[in-house]
Structure 1
Amino acid sequence: MFHYTAETEKSMDEAIQSLEESLKEEKFGVLWQFDIKETLQKKGFDFEQPYKVLEVCNPKEANNVLTENQLVGYFLPCKIVVYQDLETKKTKIGMPKPTALIEMVNDELIKGFATDIENRLIACINNSI
């Protein structure tokens, strides 16, 4: 599976706040938060699903992987989505798995970095639910 998704009873705002705290413990910061619902509505689309994309980065790790292979920059920063599932009305937190993305680079050394980052980000998501 190319992604990891977890579910929580928390509101989106509570989940994002908890996620940001968990990410800080792993030295990740949220660079940008993109509110898809708000953006699409401003553009005249009737999009009602609460859906946010967080771009997260650990500068030390970004430096490490980019030093090894510049193509990894195509996948940076990492993305974590937080949205309300329309059917269950529960908040979901998910991400594309770095190990799935890094397969496209075909670099064995980078796969180790991707596995480490993936495990840490999954732990951050799990700790925030």
Structure 2
Amino acid sequence: MFHYTVETDQSIEQTIKALEASLKEEKFGVLWEFDIRKTLEEKGFAFDKNFIVLEVCNPKEAQEVLTRNHMVGYFLPCKIVVYEDSGKTKIGMPKPSALIQMVEDDELKVFAKNIEDRLIACIDKSVA
């Protein structure tokens, strides 16, 4: 599976706040918070669900992987989405280990799996 997704009874706001705290512990920061619903509505398009995309980055890790292979920049920063679905808040991300398959480098696969495991731990901690 190319993604990891969990659900919670927390609100989107609570989930994002908890996620930001757990990401900070792993030295990831939120570079940008993109509110898709708000943006679509501003452009005149109806969208009835809250859907937030967070772009997250650990600068040290980004520098290391980009130094090794600048093509990985196509996948950066990492994205985590928080959205409403069937009365629940869902939080998920594309798995870095799935994305890195496009760059044929076994060492980068190990690196991506490490990032993935840490981001999944942050997501799990934020919904616990």
Q: Where on the TM-score scale, by shorter chain, does this alignment land: which range?
A: over 0.9
Secondary structure at the counterpart of residue 46 of structure 2:
coil
Show the counterpart of 1:67.
67
How far the C-alpha of 1:123 sits from its partner, in A, is 0.2
Shift of 1:27: 0.1
**Structure 2: which 5+ runs fail to align?**
none
Q: For the aligned residues, what is the CA RMSD?
A: 0.5
2:84 aligned residue: 84
Partner of 2:114: 116
TM-score of the aligned structures, taking structure 2 as reference length: 0.98
State the distance in 2 between where 1:126 and 1:58 align.
18
Q: Which runs of 5+ in 1 are unaligned?
A: none
1:1-129 superposed matches below 5 A: 1-85=1-85, 88-129=86-127
The C-alpha deviation readout for 1:11-66, integer Å capped at 9, x for no partner, is: 00000000000000000000000000000001001111100000000000001101
**Match of 1:45, SS?**
coil
Task: List per-residue Cα deviations over 1:77-97 (Å, max 9, x = no partner).
Answer: 000000000xx2100000000
